[in-house]
Structure 1
Amino acid sequence: MSPHAELVSRLRAAWLSGKTRPTEYRLAQLEALGRFLDEKKQDILEATAADMRKPPFEVEVSELSICRSELNHTLNNLGAWMKDKHVEKNWATQLDSAFIRKDPYGVVLIIGPWNYPINLLLVPLIGAIAAGNCVVMKPSEITRNVERLVAETLPRYLDEDCFAVVTAGVEETTRLLENKFDYIFFTGSSSVGRIVMTAAAKHLTPVTLELGGKNPCYVSDSCDVQNVARRVAWGRFFNAGQTCVAPDYVLCSAEMQEKLLPALREVITEFYGPNPRESPDFGRIVGDRQFQRVQALLHSGHTAIGGQTDAEERYIGEGPGRTAGGRGELQGGGPTRCGPRHPARQPSLSSLPTAPTVLVEVQQDDPVMQEEIFGPILPIVTVASVDDAIAFINARERPLVLYVFSSRKEVVKRVLERTSSGGFCANDTIMHMTIPSLPFGGIGQSGLGRYHGRSSFETFSHQRSALLRGAGRESLNTPRYPPYAPHRLPLLRAATETKRRATCLLL
């Protein structure tokens, strides 16, 4: 029997009992989750600081505030979302009731990453609770202090019959995926997403895969350079660059690069001071393997700003070292978010894996352009025009988000209409994530499915079609029964076929 099979079976029994279906139950669990965020705020701040030296301000903005906003948006709208959606009917069913019922899937599994260990675990959880599911949560073991906090305290707030937290490393997580779940929500790398999807396919389990990729940022010649520098630097170096929606590289003309470099240098100093190592507002890369991977990327192109690294000041605890990837790992290779389970350790609060860095003269085949950076490095690639930038973007895998900066609306519209990406944001970075009513998700290599706000509720809900017919009026059904008579066919078609409305062509 697979590990946790008994747990999954217990949660399934609770779901089958109908316990999670009433609106009042869902609201009560969501309110309890809100109390967890409020009462454990200081513990969350301390745990994220111990794991990654994440600045409290960044935790408030990217972890707590987003979760509260998502929670309040759901509480404000859940009643409306749960209502049956009545649909248009044909003539034969005019006296009946046809609607879509939002049913919970059942027992769902949510696998969270380490880079935003509260946000990216709890925001999907909000949707799963709202939709009436039972949930198994698997936080990342790399952010060990947050994992411990979630595992020890969150179950005290939620109904333990219906919600559980599982702590697991690579091998245990692989075994966990052997269990039959009714839905799996995974945030991590595309390589691990394939592993999750393969495991889900054995049970024909639907999945949402929130992955990543290389997010382009096109900067046109018509823009306020200082504003661009501030917004791009903030998005790139927030959380030490360990953000799936961070701008991964800049595309601009050679002339714009000459203007942008001094502006970026000035902004980086403004944000983090002359020595970012001493700044309380610059976070740390989570582990040694990730540091080594990011450091290797510095050999691409030419370093125009930053580039300093300091591996020696990282504190290494007793016992075997921890393999830490960038985005999620069930087996080796590539940037990942989850890694093997080893004894806990904390990074030194004085260590600086990599300073905020800008690279120029970057070639398309350089390592920094081959994989998601997931660190505080910003490459700049020069292009001759907006059309060249569009061609560059379209020649690669479709990204999680695409950014464009321009004071000309026609440039923004051109990039939006001629490219494809999970999301799109003009004249800023990351801020589209703060709107619960905007669905979030990737396309192709950057993800499958979407969530946030109503999209979270719908992701974890089965759209169940329902037709409630009356038991009488049998004479109306006679035309469809054998023995078939050709003269009945026109009547039957008129009763069941949808007619095309008159159209007007604008010439």
Structure 2
Amino acid sequence: MTIPAYVETPVERIPEIRDSLEKAFRSGKTKSVKYRKEQLLRLAYFVKDNVKPLQEALAKDLGRADAETSILELGNTLGDIKTSYENVAKWAKPERLPFMFNWFAMKPTLRKEPKGVVLIIFPFNYPIWLSLGPMAGAIAAGCAVVLKPSELTPAYSALIAELLPKYLDPEIYTVVNGAVPQATKLLELRWGQILYTGGGRVGQIILSAAAKTLTPVSTELGGKSPAVIDPNCDLKTSAKRLIWGKMSNSGQTCVAPDYVLVPKAFEAQFAQALKEVLYDFYPEGAGKSDSFSHMINGGHFERVKGLLDATHGEIVYGGSSDKEKLFIEPTIVTGVKADDSLMSEEIFGPVLPIVPVEDVDEAIEFINARDHPLALYIFSKSAAFKSKVIENTQSGSAIVNDTLIHGAVEGFPFGGVGPSGSGAHKGKFSFDMFTHIRPTLDNPSWVEMMMSGRYPPYTVAKASSMAKLIIPSLPSRPSYLPKLEGTVAPKTSNRWGVWFLVAVAVAGYGLIRVRRSA
């Protein structure tokens, strides 16, 4: 099909769109699990029916090969949607708390309720998965949804704005296209939840704006994800997987390995292995390959080229660029120091700096001196090496002997920690993000016989009776805690026994009434 023209949503219509979705949500139609499943199945078939147009859109926006779009996004997105479709009834079902004598009579229950009209702001680099994957969770949760695509992917943004209303209920799900003016207007409004995926600078703007309306926000912010190399690794396989993770989508991946930490004595050998993989992947050069994407626009091209031009490391592979084609050659830089330009920010491009360290301890210290990364990669055959790095660092995820693929694992959360993000999405985690857990209970009148001591006027007798009910007994005082002189702990009793007597009394009373009525 012909990709439709990109049309920005008029800014003045955005509050009206939000209010319309709110009205439709308040009608209650999304509360039905049957309705949610129907919409999820429609979303799945939107992807399945439009594989070719989606591939064509991302080829136009990113210069991305069709196969790469399928590998990186389409399968993963359909997997997330299918998981939500198959599990929504179970996820949405109210949960009774485990049996507790103190509370069983009140039927304490956790209801799973939608947060309302939610906003998903997603970036240019993986627009299918980072829009429709979380959207599946929002649909499963029973929310109404506004998708805000990046203006840097006009073909994809125009495509979903055109086609999505033909599959999903347009009263509940919509797309708002545009740039800063549209995003600014959206952020002036209150939402049930915002999910933002992108850079930290914009993330700060979104969090600040959302604070004014007390809108909860989940963020996935990327950052500099390191790869720690043990000389005792499968060198050939490690190099292949590392280069694939770095160069996919021309390095424009939030969880791409951003830099490599390798022992100095192993640096040259490891760099050579990386170079050999690049020769295998792009035998005629990446510039002539249909399997290599381009940078998204001139601004991103200039930023990455500027970082590369300013490096004091040694370029051992690549280094060339073509602004007209938005092409930056896959590049390996060795001997990079901590204060190098390539270490000043997330690269988000096909340039891989190698930072030599003395040993794994220095690598761990290097990582911990910086923001917690979205992903941490470890390449080693040694269980002790793997465990040491994982147990002594923090990151959104920790992946051993591979890159990127954790985003496709069913049951895994996808998210960061600290500066790399808050909250997580994918599958059940997306459902949880857009769901409010609402506790409910129903206290019958007969419980008054046990809880009447809570009402004024307070007396010693009332306080004593309530203490027996609500203050739990603790394990024996440990010897390492000092004994406090002159204090008397409130007397407590076994609450199970108290409630047991109440339960017996109530059951007996009910039995007597049944016999009398008979």
Query: 1:124 aligned to 2:142?
Result: no
Contact 1:91 1:496 (C-alpha < 8 Å) held by counterparts: no
Alignment of 1:57-456 (within 5 A): 57-88=67-98, 90-299=100-309, 300=311, 301-311=313-323, 314=324, 351=325, 353-456=327-430
Looking at structure 2, the residues matched to 303 and 129 of structure 1 have their Cα atoms a distance apart, in angstroms, of 48
Looking at structure 1, the residues matched to 474 and 158 of structure 2 have their Cα atoms a distance apart, in angstroms, of 59
Paired residue secondary structure (1:468): coil
Looking at structure 2, the residues matched to 53 and 477 of structure 1 have their Cα atoms a distance apart, in angstroms, of 69
Q: Offset of 1:266 from its aligned partner?
A: 1.0
Contact 2:298 2:326 (C-alpha < 8 Å) held by counterparts: no
Looking at structure 2, the residues matched to 478 and 41 of structure 1 have their Cα atoms a distance apart, in angstroms, of 65
**Which protein, 1 or 2, shows the higher relative CO under an 8 Å CA cutoff with sep ≥ 6?**
1
1:478 match:
452
Looking at structure 2, the residues matched to 12 and 502 of structure 1 have their Cα atoms a distance apart, in angstroms, of 54
Contact 1:66 1:119 (C-alpha < 8 Å) held by counterparts: yes
Contact 2:123 2:197 (C-alpha < 8 Å) held by counterparts: yes
Contact 1:400 1:423 (C-alpha < 8 Å) held by counterparts: yes
Looking at structure 2, the residues matched to 503 and 113 of structure 1 have their Cα atoms a distance apart, in angstroms, of 55
Q: Offset of 1:473 from its aligned partner?
A: 4.1
Q: Offset of 1:420 from its aligned partner?
A: 0.6
Looking at structure 2, the residues matched to 273 and 397 of structure 1 have their Cα atoms a distance apart, in angstroms, of 37
Looking at structure 2, the residues matched to 431 and 160 of structure 1 have their Cα atoms a distance apart, in angstroms, of 33
Paired residue secondary structure (2:113): strand
- Distance 1:419-1:471 versus aligned 2 partners, 3 A rule: same
Looking at structure 1, the residues matched to 475 and 60 of structure 2 have their Cα atoms a distance apart, in angstroms, of 63
1:317 match:
none
* Higher helix fraction (1 or 2): 2
Amino acid at match of 1:364: A
Alignment of 1:8-47 (within 5 A): 8-47=18-57
Contact 2:260 2:353 (C-alpha < 8 Å) held by counterparts: yes
Q: Offset of 1:274 from its aligned partner?
A: 3.1
Of 72-81 and 107-116, more deviation after overlay is shown by: 72-81
Paired residue secondary structure (2:177): coil
Looking at structure 2, the residues matched to 425 and 87 of structure 1 have their Cα atoms a distance apart, in angstroms, of 35
Paired residue secondary structure (1:248): strand
Paired residue secondary structure (2:256): coil
Q: Is the radius of gyration larger for structure 1 or structure 2?
A: 2
1:319 match:
none
Amino acid at match of 2:371: E
Paired residue secondary structure (2:108): strand
Aligned-pair identity in percent equals: 40
Looking at structure 1, the residues matched to 232 and 474 of structure 2 have their Cα atoms a distance apart, in angstroms, of 47
Contact 1:90 1:496 (C-alpha < 8 Å) held by counterparts: no
Looking at structure 2, the residues matched to 420 and 122 of structure 1 have their Cα atoms a distance apart, in angstroms, of 29
Amino acid at match of 1:286: I
Contact 2:36 2:142 (C-alpha < 8 Å) held by counterparts: yes
Amino acid at match of 1:416: I
1:461 match:
435
Looking at structure 1, the residues matched to 297 and 272 of structure 2 have their Cα atoms a distance apart, in angstroms, of 31
Amino acid at match of 2:322: D
Paired residue secondary structure (1:4): helix
Contact 2:148 2:175 (C-alpha < 8 Å) held by counterparts: yes
**TM-score for both structures, normalised by structure 1:** 0.89
Contact 1:90 1:497 (C-alpha < 8 Å) held by counterparts: no
Of 94-103 and 449-458, more deviation after overlay is shown by: 94-103
Looking at structure 2, the residues matched to 298 and 477 of structure 1 have their Cα atoms a distance apart, in angstroms, of 71
| Structure 2, gaps ≥5 residues long | 1-10, 480-518
Q: What's the CA shift string for 1:288-312, capped at 9, x where partnerless?
A: 111111111212111011111122x
Paired residue secondary structure (2:458): coil
- Distance 1:455-1:230 versus aligned 2 partners, 3 A rule: same
Alpha-carbon RMSD: 1.8
Looking at structure 2, the residues matched to 504 and 452 of structure 1 have their Cα atoms a distance apart, in angstroms, of 44
| Structure 1, gaps ≥5 residues long | 315-350
Q: Offset of 1:130 from its aligned partner?
A: 0.7
Looking at structure 2, the residues matched to 503 and 268 of structure 1 have their Cα atoms a distance apart, in angstroms, of 64
Q: Offset of 1:502 from its aligned partner?
A: 8.3
Of 145-154 and 463-472, more deviation after overlay is shown by: 463-472
**TM-score for both structures, normalised by structure 2:** 0.87
Looking at structure 2, the residues matched to 278 and 442 of structure 1 have their Cα atoms a distance apart, in angstroms, of 36
